[in-house]
Amino acid sequence: MTLPDAGHDPVGAVLRALDLTADAQRPDVFAGLSLPQPQGRVFGGQVLAQALLAAGRTVDDDRLPHSLHGYFLRPGDDSAPIDFVVERLRDGRSFSARRALAQQGGNPILAMTASFQEQQPGIEYAEAMPDVPGPDEVASALEVLGDVDHPMARFWAQESAFDLRHVPGPIYMRPDADSPLGRQSVWARARGPVPEDQLLHRALLAYACDQIMLEPVLRRAGLPWATPGLSMASLDHAMWWHRDVRVDDWLLFTQSTPSAQGGRGLGAARVFDRAGALVASIAQEGMVRVPL
């Protein structure tokens, strides 16, 4: 196994990182590698997506994930492989439950539980997508950060596998004075095609959302990502998939933050496809610390 190179093909690099290897000696154990990160720590969305895919490898193909709950326990080392140990909690007539533990050097870095369900009929309704400017009317991260010579700017603008477009504008370099409630919408789309695999698309949605889930906390606090001394880390993550999703077409994240306290902030999101269907709901709490 070799480390993925995100320099020229960021989507391909992510797909290679998510291509786990089964352990021939240990059943339900898989290994994966990490994309290099500016700070040397494993990207939380990556290990979450890998854990979901590992769990999905132990479930019948006709059962897709409908919910996920995970705790980020330790920072991971992006230069070391990760082992994913899956526990088969239950296989019922309609649902399957799995627990996946991501480990490095024998230490857990993520604990995740996911539930899978076969497709079934039932009550059908959903919130409507809000009316916001379309992705073609909003500047991309590349347009905003393309001339900024900084490792994080290069990651957001060039190495990220997803094109992100903020409504209102992004808070990479400057705070937002026009959104006192911390609300934002973000258009997101993979920068290349993704294979026809619904489990993979759902895992990639988990991957992508970790880049932006805590932004409403910063926006409401009047802080940009470039705040000196800012320290942020994901603590836990909950996700519900309502309908099939394609990450290589535009998705709209409508985001808010109900609370921040004790060095922690909570972000929430609804995710709509371009046709207006609600495809997922997400919540994430993270550590958010700034110098006083």
Distances (CA, A) of 28 to 31, 51, 54, 84, 88: 10, 12, 8, 8, 9
Q: Is the dihedral of CA 126, 132, 137, 139 positive or negative?
A: negative
Catalytic residue (choose from 78, 83, 176, 210): 210
Rounded distance between C-alpha atoms, residue 60 and residue 72, angstroms: 27
Beta carbons within 8 Å of 89's beta carbon, 6+ residues apart? 97, 98, 99, 113
Tokens of 85: 């140990």
Rounded distance between C-alpha atoms, residue 183 and residue 205, angstroms: 20
Report the Cα 32 to chain-centroid distance in Å.
Answer: 17
50 belongs to the catalytic site: no
119 belongs to the catalytic site: no
Number of helices followed by number of strands (H, E) in the chain: 6, 12
CA torsion 268→273→276→279, rounded to 10°?
A: -60
284 belongs to the catalytic site: yes
Catalytic residue (choose from 96, 185, 211, 234): 234
Alpha helices in the chain (DSSP H): 10-17, 44-56, 141-145, 151-154, 198-209, 215-221
Return the active site residues. 210, 234, 284
